[in-house]
Amino acid sequence: MGTDPQKLENRARLWGMTVTGMTLGIWGMVEESATSLAPLIGSQILEMMEMVLGKKIDSDKPDEALRQLGRMFVEDIGYAADSRVETADKQIRVSFSKSVSVPEFALLQQKGVKKLFSHPFMSAGVAVLGRMGQKARWGVEIDPAGGNETITFDLL
Protein backbone atom coordinates (compact mmCIF):
# COMPACT_ATOMS: atom_id res chain seq x y z
CA MET A 1 0.00 0.00 0.00
CA GLY A 2 1.35 3.40 -1.01
CA THR A 3 2.00 6.29 1.31
CA ASP A 4 -0.16 9.40 0.99
CA PRO A 5 2.53 11.31 -0.98
CA GLN A 6 2.94 8.30 -3.31
CA LYS A 7 -0.81 8.11 -3.81
CA LEU A 8 -0.93 11.82 -4.61
CA GLU A 9 1.90 11.44 -7.14
CA ASN A 10 0.23 8.38 -8.70
CA ARG A 11 -3.11 10.22 -8.90
CA ALA A 12 -1.41 13.15 -10.68
CA ARG A 13 0.28 10.71 -13.06
CA LEU A 14 -3.07 8.99 -13.74
CA TRP A 15 -4.73 12.30 -14.63
CA GLY A 16 -1.75 13.26 -16.78
CA MET A 17 -1.99 10.04 -18.75
CA THR A 18 -5.78 10.42 -19.03
CA VAL A 19 -5.35 13.87 -20.60
CA THR A 20 -2.56 12.52 -22.82
CA GLY A 21 -4.82 9.71 -24.02
CA MET A 22 -7.71 12.07 -24.65
CA THR A 23 -5.46 14.46 -26.56
CA LEU A 24 -4.18 11.60 -28.73
CA GLY A 25 -7.72 10.38 -29.36
CA ILE A 26 -9.07 13.77 -30.31
CA TRP A 27 -6.08 14.51 -32.57
CA GLY A 28 -6.51 11.11 -34.20
CA MET A 29 -10.14 11.89 -35.01
CA VAL A 30 -10.00 15.52 -36.14
CA GLU A 31 -6.31 16.53 -36.35
CA GLU A 32 -5.87 20.32 -36.86
CA SER A 33 -9.53 20.98 -36.04
CA ALA A 34 -8.71 20.00 -32.46
CA THR A 35 -7.07 23.39 -32.01
CA SER A 36 -10.55 24.93 -31.82
CA LEU A 37 -10.84 23.31 -28.36
CA ALA A 38 -8.02 25.41 -26.89
CA PRO A 39 -10.21 28.40 -25.85
CA LEU A 40 -12.75 26.11 -24.16
CA ILE A 41 -10.03 24.16 -22.34
CA GLY A 42 -8.41 27.45 -21.34
CA SER A 43 -11.58 29.04 -20.02
CA GLN A 44 -12.17 26.00 -17.80
CA ILE A 45 -8.59 26.11 -16.48
CA LEU A 46 -8.74 29.86 -15.93
CA GLU A 47 -12.10 29.70 -14.15
CA MET A 48 -10.85 26.92 -11.87
CA MET A 49 -7.60 28.73 -11.08
CA GLU A 50 -9.34 32.00 -10.27
CA MET A 51 -11.94 30.27 -8.12
CA VAL A 52 -9.57 27.96 -6.22
CA LEU A 53 -6.69 30.43 -5.89
CA GLY A 54 -8.88 33.46 -5.29
CA LYS A 55 -6.84 35.51 -7.79
CA LYS A 56 -7.87 37.32 -10.94
CA ILE A 57 -5.90 38.43 -13.96
CA ASP A 58 -6.41 42.18 -13.62
CA SER A 59 -4.38 43.67 -16.45
CA ASP A 60 -5.77 44.94 -19.74
CA LYS A 61 -2.35 44.65 -21.39
CA PRO A 62 -1.75 41.27 -23.08
CA ASP A 63 1.89 40.91 -22.00
CA GLU A 64 1.18 41.80 -18.38
CA ALA A 65 -1.88 39.53 -18.26
CA LEU A 66 0.25 36.61 -19.51
CA ARG A 67 2.97 37.54 -17.00
CA GLN A 68 0.40 37.36 -14.16
CA LEU A 69 -0.88 34.03 -15.47
CA GLY A 70 2.68 32.70 -15.67
CA ARG A 71 3.27 33.67 -12.04
CA MET A 72 0.11 31.81 -11.01
CA PHE A 73 1.28 28.70 -12.88
CA VAL A 74 4.69 28.83 -11.17
CA GLU A 75 3.94 30.14 -7.68
CA ASP A 76 0.49 28.67 -7.04
CA ILE A 77 0.37 25.52 -9.18
CA GLY A 78 4.03 24.49 -9.20
CA TYR A 79 3.91 23.98 -12.97
CA ALA A 80 7.55 25.02 -13.52
CA ALA A 81 10.57 26.48 -11.77
CA ASP A 82 10.01 29.89 -13.33
CA SER A 83 8.44 31.76 -16.22
CA ARG A 84 9.71 34.57 -18.42
CA VAL A 85 7.75 36.84 -20.76
CA GLU A 86 9.33 38.53 -23.79
CA THR A 87 7.57 40.84 -26.21
CA ALA A 88 8.48 41.98 -29.72
CA ASP A 89 6.08 43.84 -32.00
CA LYS A 90 2.85 41.82 -31.93
CA GLN A 91 4.36 38.67 -30.46
CA ILE A 92 4.52 37.52 -26.85
CA ARG A 93 6.73 34.57 -25.88
CA VAL A 94 6.29 32.91 -22.50
CA SER A 95 9.00 30.48 -21.46
CA PHE A 96 8.91 27.98 -18.61
CA SER A 97 11.97 26.24 -17.20
CA LYS A 98 11.78 22.78 -15.67
CA SER A 99 8.13 22.35 -16.60
CA VAL A 100 6.38 19.32 -15.13
CA SER A 101 4.46 18.59 -18.35
CA VAL A 102 7.41 18.27 -20.74
CA PRO A 103 7.43 14.44 -20.74
CA GLU A 104 3.72 14.20 -21.63
CA PHE A 105 3.91 16.83 -24.38
CA ALA A 106 7.10 15.31 -25.79
CA LEU A 107 5.28 11.96 -25.92
CA LEU A 108 2.34 13.57 -27.74
CA GLN A 109 4.70 15.04 -30.32
CA GLN A 110 6.43 11.68 -30.77
CA LYS A 111 3.02 10.12 -31.40
CA GLY A 112 2.19 12.65 -34.13
CA VAL A 113 0.28 15.48 -32.42
CA LYS A 114 1.50 18.51 -34.35
CA LYS A 115 -0.38 21.23 -32.42
CA LEU A 116 -0.41 20.84 -28.63
CA PHE A 117 -3.97 22.16 -28.26
CA SER A 118 -4.37 20.82 -24.70
CA HIS A 119 -1.34 22.66 -23.28
CA PRO A 120 -2.68 24.21 -20.05
CA PHE A 121 -0.80 27.53 -20.13
CA MET A 122 -1.34 28.09 -23.84
CA SER A 123 -5.06 27.33 -23.48
CA ALA A 124 -5.45 29.55 -20.41
CA GLY A 125 -3.45 32.26 -22.18
CA VAL A 126 -5.80 32.13 -25.17
CA ALA A 127 -8.72 32.48 -22.73
CA VAL A 128 -7.11 35.46 -20.97
CA LEU A 129 -6.46 37.19 -24.28
CA GLY A 130 -9.98 36.37 -25.45
CA ARG A 131 -11.46 38.08 -22.39
CA MET A 132 -9.84 41.32 -23.50
CA GLY A 133 -11.03 40.85 -27.08
CA GLN A 134 -7.53 39.98 -28.31
CA LYS A 135 -7.25 37.15 -30.83
CA ALA A 136 -3.98 35.31 -31.25
CA ARG A 137 -2.32 32.50 -33.15
CA TRP A 138 -0.27 30.31 -30.85
CA GLY A 139 2.54 27.81 -30.93
CA VAL A 140 4.08 25.52 -28.32
CA GLU A 141 7.73 24.44 -28.40
CA ILE A 142 8.95 21.65 -26.13
CA ASP A 143 12.60 21.06 -25.22
CA PRO A 144 12.67 17.57 -23.66
CA ALA A 145 16.42 17.63 -23.00
CA GLY A 146 16.27 20.89 -21.04
CA GLY A 147 12.78 20.46 -19.57
CA ASN A 148 11.69 23.80 -21.03
CA GLU A 149 8.61 25.04 -22.86
CA THR A 150 8.04 28.17 -24.91
CA ILE A 151 4.56 29.33 -25.81
CA THR A 152 4.28 31.97 -28.52
CA PHE A 153 1.22 34.19 -29.00
CA ASP A 154 1.09 36.15 -32.25
CA LEU A 155 -1.46 38.90 -31.63
CA LEU A 156 -3.86 39.47 -34.54
pLDDT tens for 81-129 read 999 999 999 999 999 999 999 999 999 999 999 999 999 999 999 999 9
| Whole-structure pTM value | 0.91
Determine the average pLDDT of the residues in 148-153.
98
What per-residue confidence (pLDDT) applies to 11?
82
What is the per-residue pLDDT across 61-86, written as a single tens digit (0 to 9) for each?
A: 999 999 999 999 999 999 999 999 99
What per-residue confidence (pLDDT) applies to 99?
94
Domains of the chain: residue spans and CATH? 4-155 (3.30.1380.20)
Rounded distance between C-alpha atoms, residue 25 and residue 22, angstroms: 5
What per-residue confidence (pLDDT) applies to 53?
92
Q: Is the pLDDT of residue 2 over 80?
A: no
What is the per-residue pLDDT across 3-53, written as a single tens digit (0 to 9) for each?
A: 877 888 788 788 888 888 999 999 999 999 999 999 999 999 999 999 999
What per-residue confidence (pLDDT) applies to 3?
84
